[in-house]
Every structure is written in C-alpha cells, then in structure tokens.
Amino acid sequence: MKSRKQLRKKQMTTGKIIGIGGLAIILVLTCTGFFYFQDHFLPNTTVAGLEVGFKTPEQVKKVFDQRNSQGVSISLDFQGAKKTLTLKNIYQELPLSAFEQAKKGTEPTLVINQVIKEEIQQKITQLATDKSVSEKTGAKINFNATTSQFEVVNAKKESVLDIKKLTERIFEKLSNYQATYEYQTSSFMKEIYPQDVVALQEKAKQMNNLNTVATFTYQNQKVEITKQNLGNFINTPQSISEFVKNEIYMKLSTTANPVHWKNPVDGHIYEFINNQAYGWNVDVEATTKQIEQMITDNNYGQTLEPVMKSTFAKGAEEVIQNNFVWIDTDKQIMQLWMDGKLVNQTDVITGFWDKGTATVSGFQTISWKTDFINMKGDGLNGTKYEVPINYAECLLYRPYNSPTTGNHTQPYETGIFIHEAKKSAEDFANKVNMQQRAYGVGSNGCIGTPVGTAKIYYDNLINGFPVIVTGHYYDNAPGEFDKPVDYGHLIA
C-alpha cells in the first residue's frame, strides 16, 4: 500500500500533466485564432450595418452587394396617408479594399447614389403635394396711412412638410445604415406663409420703395400717381375712377385748351377760346382699367399715355386746317373745308345789325342737325315768330354767364343754327350796304344759307365739326352783345 506521501506526489504529477496539456491546447487555439482572424472579422463585429463576425472581407462584400441589390423599404406616415418607398441599389459600389480597411478598424463610408437621392426627394415632394391643402387666407395689401407703408393684412401661416429636413434625415440614416426606416412626418412639419402671401409681401416691399408710381402724360402735360394715391386705390378700388375723373381727365383732356386755327387765306394761325367741346378727352373707363391692370401686374414706374377719345369723329386737330366751317361776318360768306380741300363757298346772311342779334365771332362746334325744324322765338322788336326750316345744324357755344339765360357751366346751345333761308339771290348778293340789308333780311343770329346750298352743309357736317366765326361786323352796331365775343388772336 502506497503511503500518503506517494499519493500526493502522484496527484501533483498528474495535475502538472493536465495543466501543461491545457496550456498547450490554449496555445494551439490562440495560435490558430491568431492566424484565422488575420483574414476574418472578429465575432460581434458590425460593418455597414452587417454582422460580419467570422467572415472574410470577400464574404462581407458579397453580402453587402446582395443586400444593396435587394434594397430597403422606407415607410412614411403623412397626415394619415402612408407611403412605402422601396429603394434598390441605394449605395455606390464599395471596393474590396473598403472592407479590408474595415477589418483594420476603418468603417467604410456609404455613399448614396444621386439617382436615389433624387427619387426620394421626388416621392416625398409628391406626397406633400398630394396632401397639401392651401386655404385662401384672404390676405391682401393695404396702405397704412399712419406709417405711409404698404403692408399685407390677413396673412396666416400654414403647416407644411419640411421636405428638406425630412430628406436630410433619411439620407443621414441611410448613410449610417440604421435598420429602422419608419418616419412620422409630424416631426418634420414647419409653419410658413403660403406662396400667395409671400408674393404679396414681395409686392408690398417693392411698392414701399416707389417714389412715383406712374406718370400719365399727354401733349406736354402730366399727372403723377403718388404712393399715397396708390394706397387709396388699393384700400378703396372705386377711388381709381374718381382720380381719373378729377385729376387725369381735368388736367390732360384738351377740350379746356385753346384751339388753333390756320386761316386758309392769309396762312396765319389764330388762337380761340375752346367751347370745351372740341379736342381729345380722357376715356375715364379705359384709363381706369389701365391703372387697375398696372396694379394687377405690379408694373410701376411707367410713363403712360391715357386712353383718349376725340370729340370729333374725324379726329380733333392740334391746328385746325383740314376740316372746318369758316364764317366771315365782314364779307358775309361761309366756306366748308373737308380733308384740307375747299368743298363749298357761299354767300350767307347773318344776324340783324344789332349786338343783341349778332352772329358773334368765336369758336363753336356742331351739336346736332336735322333736316327739318319748326323754329320759334321772340324777335328783337318783341314780336314772336315761327318759321319752318330745312337743313339746320345747331351750334354749340362755350360756357358763359348770361344776364338773361343764367350761368352756363357746360357748352351751351344758344339756339343759333346754320340753316336754309328762303331769301332771294339778290338778298344774299347785296353787300353794298350790309347794314341796311341786315335790317331788312337778317336773322336773330343764325347763319342763313341759300336754298340748294344748305343741303351740302347738312350732308357733310357731323357732330363736333368745328365752326370758326370771324369779323368785326357788329362792333359798331347798337345794343349789347348777348354772349361773349372772341375775335381770336394771331400766334403764328
């Protein structure tokens, strides 16, 4: 029987053998692992979102390429509308060297293909567009009279998807290859003004930088529209037509300007007071629309000509020389000029030789005409008369204050006509003593025209046709003129 000492010695020897064996095994495994993991990834290693333990770089690249070709799904929940984007070949191809470097601890950089970025951007934009409901806010531009500034009122912001923020977040997660691609887009909303409000804000900014909004000009006269005017137009649209009537019409219409007439005999130009019915008037309705369109188009800083309309169908002349009737009371003749040509010259009989029945000198126009009228009135001696008249054209005189008929603020029909007069040829031709002739055959101011000739004037004269009466025939006549006399004055 062995002694305890011997047993203990044997046990120690056995333990040494086991320990040496274990160390040998560990050494073998360590050496084997050392050489194995020289070209394999260590356990629990992750590269580009992949578990790559015990795999070689070649194997990892193969798995990465397979996963890239299979693609990933991105789930979006936008205001209850769910959209799933399935994307393949998201990343640019990684070379083997990238995974070999990953083995050494350098994580490869995942680069998203540009076409994938554009596809994501496009689909998110489409999703946002499909669900976008931009309500009309009633925003408009008003003029603040206190600050003299244009400002947008009733402007309300709306909640919209922040496409840039969401796409950047998706790109970030894809670049890090995070496993979850589900997005509640409520986290990516922003408050912005709708495009119509933004456009109004820009428009208001431009309007605040204006000095003169627009300038209307005609024949060297001008009317400026100021920022204050524009503010009134925007706050009170109906004020546009009032401005056109009171400013542009009154200042740029030429019917208040003197008229110029070229005498066909001496070739000189004479100026007469306008009867305020000859020339070019601002077309209020059309010019109002011009201003409204200017505001709609936000097209300021222009110099514009208002829409004009002539009081005379043939077109009012700056210097009357083509279309006019000329009555010379001194010579008792009348001429009709049409398109620069003398159409007719005739003897006439004007008013009795008395200032109260004078055919006064001045500028007039045709107001209307008729082929028959029963003319009634009171004679100079107080007797009443009633005479049937053929081919009569009524003359329109300028505004004036009459002691007998009152204050005429508008062009006034005085009852003077160019008309047919059933007088003898001798009456028309007798100009030896016109004063005596006038007492016997004159009128109450009308221009009597021979039978036959009167129709020529009736056929050719139209409303607005200019009539110039000249002469000093009544200067020494008795009585008082019942209307202003304008002899005209030489200007050229």
- Residues 50, 179, single domain; the answer is yes
pLDDT number for residue 406 = 83
- Residues 334, 419, single domain; the answer is yes
Q: Is residue 19 part of a domain?
A: no
pLDDT number for residue 314 = 92
- Residues 363, 428, single domain; the answer is yes
Q: Is residue 63 part of a domain?
A: yes
- Residues 476, 329, single domain; the answer is yes
Band of pLDDT at residue 230, cut at 50, 70 and 90 = very high
Q: What is the CATH number of the domain that holds 435?
A: 2.40.440.10
- Residues 72, 172, single domain; the answer is yes
pLDDT number for residue 260 = 98
For residue range 203-216, list pLDDT tens digits in order. 889 889 988 999 99
SS3 (DSSP) at 324: strand
pLDDT number for residue 4 = 60
Q: Which has the higher per-residue pLDDT, 195 or 411?
A: 411
Triad 138, 143, 148: Cα angle to 5°? 150
Q: Of 193, 192, 208, which is closest to residue 298 (Cα–Cα)?
A: 208
Band of pLDDT at residue 440, cut at 50, 70 and 90 = low
Query: Could you give the CA distance from residue 158 to residue 134 in angstroms, rounded to a whole number?
Result: 7
- Residues 354, 449, single domain; the answer is yes
Q: Residue 136 pLDDT > 80, yes or no?
A: no
pLDDT number for residue 180 = 66
DSSP bridge pairs for 349: 448
Structure tokens given for 325: 């009737």
Check: CB of residue 192 under 8 Å from CB of residue 157: yes
- Residues 298, 382, single domain; the answer is no
Q: Residue 99 pLDDT > 80, yes or no?
A: yes
For residue range 140-169, list pLDDT tens digits in order. 888 898 998 999 999 888 888 888 998 888
Q: Which has the higher per-residue pLDDT, 447 or 33?
A: 447
Q: Is residue 301 part of a domain?
A: yes
Mean pLDDT over 376-398 rounds to 87
Q: Residue 296 pLDDT > 80, yes or no?
A: yes
Q: Residue 14 pLDDT > 70, yes or no?
A: no
Q: Residue 2 pLDDT > 60, yes or no?
A: no
**Which one-letter DSSP state was computed for residue 207?**
H
- Residues 75, 223, single domain; the answer is no
SS3 (DSSP) at 65: helix
Q: Which has the higher per-residue pLDDT, 122 or 81?
A: 122
Ranges 31-35, 115-119, 250-254, 355-359, most confident: 250-254
Q: Is residue 27 part of a domain?
A: no
pLDDT number for residue 196 = 87
Query: Could you give the CA distance from residue 470 to residue 349 in angstroms, rounded to a whole number?
Result: 14
Least confident of 12-21, 300-309, 337-346: 12-21
Number of domains in the chain: 3
Q: Is residue 117 part of a domain?
A: yes
Q: Is residue 142 part of a domain?
A: no
Domain, as residue range, for 53 = 43-131+158-192
- Residues 389, 280, single domain; the answer is no
- Residues 170, 235, single domain; the answer is no
Q: Is residue 138 part of a domain?
A: no
Sole residue written with tokens 């019409």: 249
> Rounded to whole angstroms, what are the CA distances from 15 to 3, 28, 271?
19, 20, 143
Q: Residue 348 pLDDT > 80, yes or no?
A: yes
pLDDT number for residue 388 = 94
Q: Residue 352 pLDDT > 70, yes or no?
A: yes
Band of pLDDT at residue 229, cut at 50, 70 and 90 = very high
Check: CB of residue 240 under 8 Å from CB of residue 292: yes
Please report the DSSP string for 160-175 in residue order: EE-HHHHHHHHHHHHH
What value does the mean pLDDT of the chain take?
A: 88
Triad 173, 176, 182: Cα angle to 5°? 30
- Residues 294, 353, single domain; the answer is no
Structure tokens given for 414: 């005085």
- Residues 121, 65, single domain; the answer is yes
- Of all residues in the chain, the percent with pLDDT exceeding 70 is 89
Ranges 317-331, 398-412, 414-428, most confident: 317-331
For residue range 391-409, list pLDDT tens digits in order. 999 999 999 988 778 888 8
Q: What is the CATH number of the domain that holds 240?
A: 3.10.20.800
Query: Could you give the CA distance from residue 369 to residue 347 in angstroms, rounded to a whole number?
Result: 21
**Which one-letter DSSP state was computed for residue 138?**
-
Band of pLDDT at residue 438, cut at 50, 70 and 90 = low
Band of pLDDT at residue 286, cut at 50, 70 and 90 = very high
Q: Residue 32 pLDDT > 90, yes or no?
A: no
Sign of torsion over alpha carbons 271, 277, 278, 282:
positive
Report the amino acid identity of residue 407.
N
pTM exceeds 0.75 for this model: no
Least confident of 46-55, 130-139, 464-473: 130-139
For residue range 54-85, list pLDDT tens digits in order. 989 999 889 889 888 888 888 888 777 778 88
**DSSP H or E stretch at residue 354:** none
Q: Is residue 204 part of a domain?
A: no
